Amino acid sequence: MDDIDRAILRELQVDGRIPYAELGPKVGLSPSAARHRLQRLIDTKTVQIVGVTDPMTMGQQTVALLGLRVESDSRAVADELSRHDEVVYTVLTSGRYDLFAEVVRSRPGDLLDFINDVVRTIEGVTSVETFPYFAIHTHRFLWEVD
């Protein structure tokens, strides 16, 4: 990534729907060149352009962070969890937990079913601690791209 790629990413963090006619001049390129640069970043999986929702504002949603302890390879457990649409993201970590997973279900009972019927049955999972969300206070995607 060079300085122009970083400038493109900074502009997208402000407005992910910016037209190429505006993006190009802001980063010192023609609209066509900006489109090609962004497509390369997408093709190499450096960036994804997605619509981000807040599940707490989308009706009856139950969201929780799961802290998992794993006795085997936590990457394998993360891979298995990632196969389920209910899992929004997984994070490998260290300390008290080996893995965190954010889960979204429609009702608290559905969350309980998912934990008991899916998460606890994954080979290597030794414990699950559930942290239910009452509200999402801060949710941003503005990371330094330098």
For residues 63 and 124, membership in a common domain is answered with: yes
Q: What is the pLDDT of residues 4-46, one digit of tens each?
A: 998 998 888 888 889 999 999 999 999 999 999 999 999 998 8
Same domain, 60 and 127: yes
**CATH code of residue 69:** 3.30.70.920
Statement to judge: residues 13 and 64 lie in one domain = no
Q: What is the Cα–Cα distance from 117 to 112, expressed in whole angstroms? A: 8
- Spatial CB neighbours of 37, under 8 Å, sequence gap ≥ 6: 4, 5, 8, 29
The reply to whether the predicted model has a pTM over 0.75 is no
- The Cα 70–Cα 100 span in angstroms is 11
Task: Give the model confidence (pLDDT) of 82-127 as tens digits.
Answer: 999 999 999 999 999 999 999 999 889 999 999 999 999 999 999 9
Ramachandran angles phi, psi of 101, nearest 5°: -140, 130
Residue 48, pLDDT score:
82
Asked if the structure places residue 145 within a domain, the reply is no
How many structural domains comprise the chain? 2
39-66 residue pLDDT tens: 999 999 888 887 766 666 666 588 999 9
Structural domain span for residue 39: 3-43
